[in-house]
Amino acid sequence: MKTIWNRCIGEFRQLTLPRLAMAAAASLALALGLSACQNVAGFTQPSLVRVIDASYIAPAVNVVVEGTLLAANIGQGTITPYGTLPATGDALIKVTAATGGATLVSSNGTLLAGHQHSVFLTDNGAAPKSYMVTVLEDQDVQAAGGHSAFRFLNQAPKVGSVDVYMVPSGTTLANSVLQATIPVGGTFGYFSFASQTVTMVIVPTGAITPKYTSAGLSLVGGEVFTVLIVDSQLTSNPPVQVYTASDLAH
């Protein structure tokens, strides 16, 4: 018995402090690895979803997606923050007047796991008080280093197709960083350009008289924005109104 005890003591003494530390670290890593596997198994990332209201004729509305009230009492020009919803290939979207009553429009869309989406409410134009819902996929990662990314949604039927210029500080339209021709209803992807201080200028396609000129935008790189362009309803030949929101939710 004494011999066995002495042997055990000898083996223990061979475990120096560095060896003990290595053994403990290995045990911890194994435990964390098993725990991570248990947490990931069967887990599906949610989808981040927001609402963009570009309708001229809709009343203030509520937007319900998969039974969740995503936006309440919003009107034209609203771009809501992102909410978290389960990913699904067939999300039911219902838009109702904020005061209640029948559904104004319903649609189904895909909400991808780990992605960001915008529920885009517009006017159909096919019939009086007819609306349309489109689910857009938003860019959810920063623009490449030293660059900024913009997406333009043109919902200005009175003005029509527009050209968008990003004019560097101290220069003119002729030296613009970005020129994008956007038709009414256009929902193109993102335009990326080298980051700097610019002024956003919007003109009817082929024209030079601005319908909108922003204040200086100091872009440092990595920004991702969605820009909603709508008619100002003040005159028969209106300027446009612009609503801008960051697409980086985190």
CATH assignment of the domain containing 65: 2.60.40
pLDDT > 90 fraction of the chain, expressed in percent and rounded: 67
| pLDDT at residue number 208 | 87
Angle at 222 (CA atoms; ends 111, 226), nearest 5 degrees: 50
| 170-228: pLDDT as tens digits | 898 887 878 778 999 977 889 999 999 999 999 999 888 999 999 999 999 999 999 99
Domain closes at, from 118, 138, 158? 138
Both 116 and 153 in a single domain? no
Domain-embedded: residue 3: no
Domain-embedded: residue 29: no
Domain-embedded: residue 6: no
Domain-embedded: residue 209: yes
Average pLDDT over residues 13-31: 41
Structure tokens at 38: 């248990």
| pLDDT at residue number 176 | 85
pLDDT at residue 237 greater than cutoff 90: no
| pLDDT at residue number 236 | 60
Strand partners, 117: 49, 137
| 62-116: pLDDT as tens digits | 999 999 999 999 999 999 999 999 999 999 999 999 999 999 999 999 999 999 9
Q: What are phi and psi of 179, to 5 degrees?
A: -130, 120
**What average pLDDT is seen over the chain?**
84
Both 121 and 88 in a single domain? yes
Both 100 and 195 in a single domain? no
| pLDDT at residue number 187 | 78
Domain-embedded: residue 33: no
| 144-167: pLDDT as tens digits | 999 999 999 999 999 999 999 999
Domain-embedded: residue 59: yes
Average pLDDT over residues 33-39: 40
pLDDT at residue 59 greater than cutoff 90: yes
Both 233 and 245 in a single domain? yes
- Number of independent structural domains in the chain: 2
Average pLDDT over residues 5-15: 41
Both 155 and 105 in a single domain? no
Domain-embedded: residue 7: no
Closest CA to 177 of 190, 162, 191: 191
| pLDDT at residue number 250 | 66
Closest CA to 200 of 217, 220, 180, 183: 217
Both 152 and 222 in a single domain? yes
Could you list the residue range(s) of the whole structural domain that residue 63 is in?
A: 44-138
| pLDDT at residue number 41 | 52
Domain closes at, from 138, 169, 192? 138
Contact, 148 vs 192, CB < 8 A? yes
Both 152 and 181 in a single domain? yes
Domain-embedded: residue 191: yes
We report the CATH number of the domain holding residue 191 as 2.60.40.1120
Q: What pLDDT band is residue 234 in, cutting at 50, 70 and 90?
A: low
Domain closes at, from 111, 138, 165? 138
Contact, 79 vs 245, CB < 8 A? yes
Both 176 and 111 in a single domain? no
